[in-house]
Amino acid sequence: MSARLEEIPIELALHEETQDKLVEMLFVHLDIISEKDCMISQQKHDIQNMLRKQTKMEEEHQNVLLELQEKNQRLHEVEKQCHDLKEDNWEKDNEIAELIKDNGTLTAQLKLVKAENNELKKVMHSNHRGSQSHSGDSQEQMPVIPTEIQLLQMKQSEAQLEPFQKAAQNKLFEKSLRKLLVKKSANSTGNQTQITATVSVLRKLLRSYEMKLEKETSKVLMLKNTAQRFEQQNKELLLMLGTWVKCLEQSSAKMQELEEKNKELEKSLQDLNKEGKALEMIDRKQSVMFIIPNTPKRGKVSGLQHLGAIRQSSPVGSRALRQLSSCANRSPPLRRCPWYSCPKYGMVKGGGNEKKFLL
């Protein structure tokens, strides 16, 4: 029993040391968890900023794509206009070819008219010669010849006027053709210059937008890589936090076990204290019962002498029990007996005599 009582304070000291160590470890783990929480909150803030920047970049990309689509539509419209101009030029070329064909037919007709005019001139010369040769003919034929001559002169005048008319028509036709050719060349050159200028400008714009898109795509890829890196770091931190939480749970379980052991030890100590108190009470009762009958009836004895007598007369076993109970209770072995009435000296009643004892 005494060995058990001596081991109890040592076990309590060991339990207190382990409890202090566990508390220190708990505080260290809590500090680490708070630091990790701060890092996680900072990384969440960084990720939110990155997401905001990414949304802004996506909006800018969408705006750039819309601008490119509008410019592409303009390009298609310009291409349609160029196609329409080409069709107009083709139609004008066809018209010019038809006019050239008509001009060829008119020149052929002019050649035929000239040949007929030459033939008529020959006929008129022959008729004139015949008229001069037959001037001596009868007078009956005289009125017929002038009428024929007049008709021939009219035909000759008409034949002479026709080439002039045809020449004038040809000149007008040639002027109109020249004007059309000049207009066509001017329109074609102007349209070609406009088309080339617009195409060059649009190509430059497309190149610049392609460069911008490449830069933006590279930035987006960088942002995605950083976001993936942050996600991986967050996963690692979450795993570390999970391990820390498991360690804390294990430490808390150990703490609970230690608390349960402490409670059991406290209960055992209380039981031992109760047993010690009971033994002490029994020892006191036995000592009092042993002292009272052996006190002398006559003569006055001082309290100190009587206390020395009590200590000399007390058995060895009761003294050891008193020491054990004092170690367990951490209090002096002698306590007030319920028989005492004075705080410093107690009046012992027994055997018809009253004695004073120092407490």
- 306-346: per-residue pLDDT in tens? 444 444 444 444 444 454 445 444 444 444 444 434 444 34
To which residue do tokens 């202090």 refer? 20
Q: How far apart are CA 49 and CA 51, in angstroms?
A: 5
Residue 191: pLDDT band by 50, 70, 90 thresholds?
low
Q: How far apart are CA 151 and CA 114, in angstroms?
A: 19
Mean pLDDT across the chain, nearest whole number? 70
The full set of domains in the chain, from first to last, is: 2-257 (1.10.287), 292-358 (no CATH)
For residues 29 and 244, is the Cβ–Cβ distance under 8 A? yes
Q: How far apart are CA 44 and CA 227, in angstroms?
A: 10
Is the pLDDT score of 131 beyond 50?
yes
**Better-scored residue on pLDDT, 296 or 160:** 160
Taking alpha carbons only, the member of 358, 359, 350, 339 closest to residue 291 is 350
Residue 353: pLDDT band by 50, 70, 90 thresholds?
very low
Residue 21: pLDDT band by 50, 70, 90 thresholds?
confident
Q: Locate 210 and state its tokens.
A: 């392609």
**Better-scored residue on pLDDT, 174 or 90:** 90
- Largest separation between any pair of C-alpha atoms in the chain: 231
pLDDT for res 215: 80
pLDDT for res 320: 43
Contacts of 325 (CB under 8 A, 6+ apart): 273, 276, 277, 279, 280, 333
Q: How far apart are CA 137 and CA 135, in angstroms?
A: 5
What is the model's pTM? Answer: 0.33
pLDDT for res 344: 40
Residues 28-49 have a mean pLDDT of: 86
- 48-94: per-residue pLDDT in tens? 888 888 888 888 888 888 888 888 888 888 888 888 888 887 888 88
Residues 255-278 have a mean pLDDT of: 80
345-350 vs 353-358, strand pairing mode: antiparallel
pLDDT for res 55: 86
pLDDT for res 312: 44
Q: How far apart are CA 45 and CA 33, in angstroms?
A: 18
Residue 184: pLDDT band by 50, 70, 90 thresholds?
low
DSSP 54: H
pLDDT for res 146: 57
- 192-216: per-residue pLDDT in tens? 777 777 777 777 777 777 787 788 7
Chain centre distance of CA 105: 79
Q: How far apart are CA 50 and CA 57, in angstroms?
A: 10
Residue 299: pLDDT band by 50, 70, 90 thresholds?
very low
**Better-scored residue on pLDDT, 189 or 25:** 25
